[in-house]
Structure 1
Amino acid sequence: MLVSLNWLAEYVDLQGQDPIELAEKITRSGIEVDGIEMRAQDMKNVVVGHVVSKEKHPEADKLNICQVDIGGGEISQIVCGAPNVDAGQKVIVAVPGARLPGGFKIKKAKLRGQESNGMICSLQELGIEGKTVPKAYVDGIFVLPSDAEPGQDALEYLSLYDTVLELGLTPNRADAMSMFGVAYEVAAILNKEINLPEISYTPVSKKASDVFALEVEATDANPLYVAKVVQNVKVGPSPLWLQNRLMAAGVRPHNNVVDVTNYILMEYGQPLHAFDYDRLETNKIVVRMAAEGEKITTLDDQERTLKSTDLVITNGQEPVAVAGVMGGANSEVHDGTTTVVIESAYFSGSFIRQTSKELGLRSDASARFEKGVDPNRVEAAAERAAGLLAELAGGEVLKGSLVADELDKSPKQVIVSPDFVNERLGMKISFDEMQQILTRLQFPFEVANGLFYIAAPTRRQDIVIPEDIVEEIARMYGYDRIPMTLPEGASQAGSLSSYQAKRRLVRQTLEGAGLYQATTYSLTSEEQSQKYTMYTADTTKLLMPMSEERSTLRQSLIPHLVEAASYNTARRVENVALYEVGSVFLDQGQDELPHEIEHVAGVVTGLWVDHAWQGEKKPVDFFAVKGIVEALAAKLGVELSYTQAKIEGMHPGRTATIHLGNAQVGFIGQLHPNEQKRLDLKETYVFELNLVALTADALPTIAYTPVSRYPAITRDIALVVERAVPAGTLESIIRANGGRLVTSVRLFDLYQGEKMAEDKKSIAFSITYQDPERTLTDEEVVKAHDKVVKALAEEVQAELRG
């Protein structure tokens, strides 16, 4: 909400108030001021000018040489490139020495050989946003009304000596989406009176009900509808004061009829709509629910298909507006309009919200109806608009209004005791001070039996329960005045749970290994949702997704991580190492929430080692990523095993499932070459682990073993085995049969090829034997080694390589 202090000062006395201090007071009271704009800041020497004559520049087709009266009979020659400049206009002139927004200074200059003493300005050059400039002047200079006097301060004439506050409103403060609402708030903060404008006009003798009819069929969605008829209007530009106020509020002026409805929207917070009476054709309005598939072309020239849940305004035959959202093009006010029907209504927020969402159409009107408008301002807003149309458009207001009213407009009663307020705030605000605060807020109340009986104003529809009154008293008393107290009773220092500590350890380990944390969406496409998943479960879909790409809850972290890697490599980040700790979601059937499991996953591509000085470069491979997983397991005190696997989307020969005991807890491997090509990635390796399963057991107690004082003996063994036999199986056999004397088994060679059968491979291990209590003899080592060789031969038919 943009609030012009010049406009606000019409309702509340702001004399002597510094804008910065006022913004601070408003923020302290609970409505945050997000921005402060001094509209004329740093601008000077900008005056009204009168273009006496215009002629084409002799050397430039798009430039004109203008003789401009800048006051006091002084004529200045100014070269202007605006397409709409013309003799006889009153314009905005920045004279030499002027300063414009952005530190732009105006000096005397020569343009294509012609002297130019200043600049004829557009509104954008005065810092006004292009989206709020009247369409006629978007691509040119702004033409002032004919009553502007040459030489007078143009900034003052345009009301630019003004400060605009940008309020960041929370959803409960819909009342502050209007100048009246902000006026009540500021008056309460400053303890000032509020002066709202009087509604004054003289209607003609003809009755509105004689020329127009109203029928409301959908009373649940539209319990209150008011229509007024104004005839003999002359559609044209609004007076400058009205245009200035709308532009300050971020609204583009159009014409006097539309501008009046927008002015009331900003002033009262009550959306209005103006229909061209003649275009309605049937001389009546019928409010009903739309027929399924019914169509309407709205004011933005878009044809929209309606549903039976949408509320529409019709002429009894066809829709002329989508209620509370946007009017129809078939009843739009235009330059030839002479009679106007003003609509002011109370529409149910739930209906408007649903329609706005389904049509993908959100407007200032729908935003206010969704949050709730003041039911007691509906008729007053229509009367105020009729009065302004009579004043600004020369209209004649027909007597009376057409009203359909089934709305309860009585205020809600809230009962609260002073003790209740002080107990909730932990302080002692006096009874008298509470009364003063309620009076400043203009909350009608009575006191009986030590209780406040408060009639919550309908403009404040967020005041419903006693706690709401507590909040109002607290913010007006001053949050900064609430005393600070320490909690009473026994206290206990906070700590991380076992799972939280392990999750933190996981993050530290992966970041220590060189991976960066990523956070990706939990929602993905249905196609990607079950890619790389370790589970068999149905997908969980959203009923109303933002898009197809965000329609389904994920069952794996890998798809989005590889997309992140692809995104980075496409932007010349060639070495990518990312990890994520996040949840996957497994469907548990209808009417059940999905089962949520936290996983940890990683993706690595590019160079794993890049020592430019030593000239060493090493691309990432399976074993580098497996090393990361094993380091993680070591930190968590668990032992993992690996089994070759085939997973869709993964390389068939470089993928393994990861097991903890007999349970699968994850997988590791290279993306399938086809996937890498699709994502434009080089060799890319990924892993994903069930973090809950991985951290289920307590960390083992650390046991320290003294370094043996006795020498170790190493024996190398080269075996010829079937190619299908995993090295891990051989290592397990060696450890199991070597007994306690085997302290280390290290794989150091693998050979397949020439002089080796096609189905065989040669694999070599270095085995270390050591006893921590004595020196081993050769006989003992040979005995243990022979036992290992025998077991290998029996269990996997391994042969010693000669």
Structure 2
Amino acid sequence: MLVSTKWLNEYVNIKGIDPAELAEKITRSGIEVDSIIHRGEGLSNIVVGYVKECIKHPEADKLNICQVDVGEETTQIICGAPNVAEGQKVIVARPGAVLPGGIKIKKAKLRGEESNGMICSLQELGIEGKLVPKAYAEGIYVLPQDAVPGEDALPLIGLDDTVLEFDLTPNRSDALSMLGVAYEVGAILSQGIALPNISFKEADEKAGELLKLRVEAANDNPMYVAKVVKNVKVEESPLWLQNYLMAAGVRPHNNVVDITNYVLMEYGQPLHAFDYDRIGTGEIVVRHAEEGEKITTLDDTERTLKAHNLVITNGKEPIALAGVMGGANSEVHDGTTTVVIESAYFAPSSVRTTSKEVGLRSDASTRFEKGVDPNRVADAAERAAQMMAEIAGGEVLSGSVIFDQLDKTAERITISPDYINSRLGMKISMDEMLSILERLQIPTDAVNGQLVIDAPTRRQDLRIKEDIIEEIARMHGYDEIPKTLPVSESIPGGLTPYQAKRRIARQFLEGAGLYQAITYSLTSKAQSQAFALETAPVTELLMPMSEERSVLRQSLVPHLLEAVTYNVARRIDSVALYETGSVFLGTEEDGLPKEVEHLSVVITGKWVDQPWQGETKKVDFFVVKGIVEGLMDRLGLAHLVAFEQAVIDGMHPGRTASILLDGERVGLIGQIHPTEQKKRDLKETYVMEMNLSKVLSVETEELLYQPVPRFPSISRDIALVVASETSAGTLAQIIRQAGGKLLKDVKLFDLYEGDNVEDGKKSIAFSLTYFDPERTLTDEEVVKAHEKVLSALTNEAGAQLRG
């Protein structure tokens, strides 16, 4: 909704109020002002000119040499507009003027003739072409003959105006009219509003003698008002009327049509003007269309109707689509002398259905769809008749032709101040509430401590108690609602320990260089249990979109592999993705799928690629294992995690392991089987999946920081010869258990198989660190602890020290 502040000032006094300040007040009261448009911003030195002489340019067929009186002088201006002519009052940009788009007007020579300025069209002054009257769409704009040469032209064409653009929510259809906006602004500024004074002289002849009315679809058209105006002279509208319409985003046509559009914008009540003589029968019949019936609307488009579409007819054929658009066969034209003004209430659902089916939305249909004020239907017709008498010289016939079965009863709402305050968490006095409702002009009585409210029909959004609470809250000021902290055993808004840990996990993975992916929960039956840590009966959709999306997944890995394949196919060779999401393992007791949150990682290509330093490293098992260990360390679970060789379908038999947490299997890690890689057009690709729910549910001790050690540590290296199948993890676990409290760290640093090591054996070396934070260790203490370690390795793993 575009609101001209100049037009608004006719109903409520806003003179002296800065438009930006007014926009802020309106926004804070609940209607957002999207933008403030200063229509003539940056324009200056634009004056009225009088074309005293206009002759063809001797060197150019499309140019004219004009002698223009600009008040202080008569100057020569070259103009190329096809409609420029002697005797016109025009808009002139003098030398030094700046037009929209940064165009500077200077003295110039065109084909050898001097030009001192420019005769302007409305488009050149920043008015949209779609709003310019058709008569001036291809040329300059011609001012009325009473314009004075030399005076500022901007006020004459409404460019001294500021327009507020409202972003209305669907419930505030009352603000789709200037009067509705006036009620709102008047309440904000604590002012009354000046409603239009409707008064005109009626002819002795009665409207009912010329026009008959029959409504056959009362449910969709419970009220219809028609007024008849004779001896109308159709011509161009006064400049002030055109300016208001263009400011509101409506294109002027002629005085009759412009009056109906003006009243539409003023009252929010759509009107339509019929040429009485073109109706032909002297009768209006409102009915539903016949199936397949046709009508050509004002946009010269033939439309085929359905049986439930509501139409206005002359008793024989449709002459308008009710609430949407008039018909071309009854259009007002230059020769029209008698006009029928239609003002009606059409059911919102009927208009919405018709508008949607014929693919036509208009200012009228928009307002009918949201619901117009039942008590303004007759007033709007009277207002239009008054203006046609004043502007078009018409003679208004006595009375109106009316069909009225419309309920105009106000909605009664009873509410207590205590109820309002309890919902708002505020303490607003009853007097303040009464004052607010009075400012909004909502009739209210205080009865036995209750507010008894008759919601005005112009406010279709006031239906229940909560609507009244909203009115009081927004007018009292949302900024006045006190800020309070909730009081309870658990304050809402914080993260649960589980959520906090999940956030830590995501931050770690992203810090490690992985990108988060989000994939479908739906997959195919063939892929539903691939790579699953555990399986259960799959959950199938009753009506799947496709076979590929027919069941719920039990592993995150397949979809991540699809994402990697997609990227690799587009020449992105190195991909590192992770996802946290639900897998679905059977059903709960209530019959819903059992959701378990998993974490999955898929990496392929290069992990390190620094061409300048000549450093390149491909992804391998230990890169992914390192990510898991780093994550567990970050979660405080490093001391509980271990890895155990495993054989899993779809995984490389020698490069796959189970992830153990305190001895319980919670995940898998390893390389995709070469056959699976080939099927997916991938090179070496490594995956990891773990049951994140189990991992994050483990309680951990609070993180404690320790001071930097004051005492030195002692390191011992051991090289062991063990059977080839003995894992380094098993040896490290034996070392930790045997090392006692003095052993602080165990690191694997070498693995050797080959010369000087017998077949079936391997050499594996560890670095052990001994340390006591309270004192310096002696050699005897370290030797004693170290011998226990060696003894345990010999007895439990059959290890021998390598010589």
What secondary structure, in the 3-state scheme, does the structure 1 residue paired with 2:66 have?
strand
Report the Cα distance in structure 1 between the residues aligned to 2:358 and 2:312, rounded to whole angstroms: 16
Using a 3 Å threshold, how does the CA distance of structure 1 residues 293 and 378 change in structure 2: closer, same or farther? same
Structure 2 CA distance for partners of 1:604 and 1:308, relative to 1, 3 Å: farther
Written as runs of structure 1 = structure 2, the 5 A alignment for 1:620-635 is 635=634
**Which residue in the other structure is 2:774 paired with?**
none
| Residue equivalent to 2:67 | 67
> Which secondary structure state, in structure 2, belongs to the residue aligned with residue 49 of structure 1?
strand
Distance in 2 separating the partners of 1:188 and 1:107: 49
Confirm whether residue 163 of structure 1 aligns to residue 162 of structure 2.
Answer: yes
Task: Note if 1:17 corresponds to 2:29.
Answer: no
Call closer, same or farther: CA 1:617–1:780 in 2, change over 3 Å.
Answer: closer
Which stretch of the first structure deviates more once superposed, 303-312 or 77-86?
303-312
1:740 to 734, 737, 760: 734
- Superposition pairs of residues 98-497 of structure 1, within 5 angstroms: 98-101=97-100, 104-201=103-200, 202-203=202-203, 205-208=205-208, 210-217=210-217, 219=219, 221-231=220-230, 233-277=232-276, 284-288=283-287, 299-300=298-299, 311-313=310-312, 321-328=320-327, 332-335=331-334, 339-353=338-352, 356=355, 361-425=360-424, 429-481=428-480, 492=491, 495-497=494-496
Residue of structure 1 in register with 2:27 after alignment: 27
Q: Which amino acid aligns with 2:123?
A: Q
Give the deviation of 1:245 after TM superposition. Answer: 0.3
Partner of 1:78: 77
Matches within 5 A, 1:34-49: 34-49=34-49
User: Does the Cα contact within 8 Å between 2:2 and 2:249 map onto a contact in 1?
Assistant: yes
Distance 2:668 2:199 in 1: 78
Query: Residues 716 and 767 of structure 2 are in contact (CA less than 8 Å); yes or no, is this contact kept in structure 1?
Result: no
1:96 counterpart letter in structure 2: P
CA shift in 2, pair 1:738/1:200, >3 Å: closer
Is 2:552–2:584's contact at 8 Å kept on the other side of the alignment? yes
* Contact 2:539/2:552 (8 A) holds in 1: no
Structure 1, unpaired ranges of 5+: 720-729, 752-761, 789-802
Measure, in 2, the Cα distance between the counterparts of 1:553 and 1:331. 60
Q: Check conservation: 2:540, 2:550, Cα contact below 8 A.
A: no
Give the CA deviation at 1:164.
Answer: 1.6
Pairwise CA distance, 1:140:
3.5
SS at match of 1:205: strand
Between stretches 416-425 and 661-670, larger displacement belongs to 661-670
Tell me how far 1:190 sits from its aligned partner.
2.4
Q: Cα distance, 1:7 vs. partner? A: 0.7
**How far apart are 1:153 and its partner, in Å?**
1.4
Q: What amino acid sits opposite 2:734 in the alignment?
A: R
Give the greater-gyration-radius structure (CA).
2
Partner of residue 776, structure 2? none
Instruction: Quote the Cα distance in structure 1 between the aligned partners of 2:544 and 2:689.
Output: 26
Correspondence list, 1:702-713, <5 A:
711=716, 713=718
Partner SS for 2:45 = strand
8 A contact 2:225–2:401 mirrored in 1:
yes
TM-score by length of 2: 0.74
Change (3 A) 1:232 1:621: farther
Q: Deviations over 1:461-513 (max 9, x none)?
A: 22233443344344434444556666678785863113321331233123212
Give me the CA root mean square deviation. 5.7
Counterparts of 1:470-549 in structure 2 under 5 Å?
Answer: 470-481=469-480, 492=491, 495-515=494-514, 537=539
1:296–1:305 CA contact under 8 A, matched in 2: yes
Amino acid at match of 1:85: V
**Contact 1:622 1:669 (C-alpha < 8 Å) held by counterparts:** no
User: 1:252-290 CA deviation, whole Å, 9 max, x = no partner?
Assistant: 223333322221221111122344556656665554556
**Deviation for aligned residue 1:615:** 4.3
What does the per-residue CA deviation read over 1:271-328, in whole Å, with 9 as the maximum and x for residues that have no partner?
A: 2234455665666555455667766665556666666665555556665555434445
Task: Give the distance between the partners of 2:490 and 2:84, measured in 1 at CA.
Answer: 76
Contact 2:210 2:282 in 1 (8 A): no
- Equivalent residues of 2:722, 2:798 under 8 A apart: no
| CA shift in 2, pair 1:159/1:710, >3 Å | closer
Q: 1:584 to 1:453 in 2, by over 3 A?
A: farther
When structure 1 is superposed on structure 2, of 38-47 and 420-429 the one drifting more is: 420-429
Tell which deviates more after alignment, 124-133 or 615-624.
615-624
**Against the structure 1 CA distance between its residues 611 and 47, is the aligned structure 2 distance closer, same or farther, given a 3 Å change threshold?**
same
Larger displacement relative to structure 2 (663-672 or 319-328): 663-672
SS at match of 1:66: strand
Secondary structure at 1:147's aligned position in 2? coil
Name the structure 2 match of 1:727.
none
Change (3 A) 1:749 1:46: farther
Quote the Cα distance in structure 1 between the aligned partners of 2:581 and 2:123.
48
Kept in 1: contact 2:236–2:254 (CA 8 A): yes
> Secondary structure in 2 aligned to 1:44?
coil
Three-state SS of the structure 2 residue aligned to 1:67 is: strand
Q: Please tell me whether the aligned partners of residues 553 and 584 of structure 1 are also in contact (alpha carbons under 8 angstroms).
A: no
CA distance in 1, matches of 2:434, 2:293: 54
Assess if the C-alpha contact under 8 Å between 1:52 and 1:66 holds in 2: yes
Secondary structure of the residue aligned to 2:94 is: strand
2: CA distance between counterparts of 1:60 and 1:23? Answer: 50
Whole-angstrom CA distance in 1 between matches of 2:522 and 2:80: 52
TM-score normalised per structure 1: 0.74
TM-superposition CA deviations, 1:123-173 (whole Å, max 9, x none): 233232333223443443322233323222111211222222222323332
1:4 Cα deviation from its structure 2 partner:
1.1
Number of positions where the alignment pairs a residue of Structure 1 with one of Structure 2: 748
Kept in 2: contact 1:319–1:328 (CA 8 A): yes
Instruction: Give the Cα–Cα distance (whole angstroms) in 1 for the partners of residues 765 and 101 of structure 2.
Output: 77
The one-character-per-residue Cα deviations of 1:175-205 (angstroms, maximum 9, x if unpaired) are: 1121001111222222323211123342561
Task: Evaluate the alpha carbon distance shift between residue 453 and residue 633 of structure 1 in structure 2; reply closer, same or farther with a 3 A threshold.
Answer: same
**Alignment-mate amino acid for residue 226 of structure 1:** V
Report the residue type matching 1:774 in the other structure: H
Q: In structure 1, what residue type is equivalent to 2:50?
A: H
Which amino acid letter does the alignment assign opposite residue 8 of structure 2?
L
State the Cα deviation string for residues 214-240 of structure 1 (Å, max 9, x = none): 323250x43333334445544443222
- What CA distance in whole angstroms lies between the structure 1 residues aligned with 2:216 and 2:600? 59
Cα distance in 1 for partners of 2:451, 2:471 equals 14
Maintained 8 Å contact 2:596/2:693: no
Query: What whole-Å deviation, never above 9, does each CA across 1:685-725 have from its counterpart, x for those lacking one?
Result: 89897987466633555999999967454568998xxxxxx
Contact 1:63 1:79 in 2 (8 A): yes
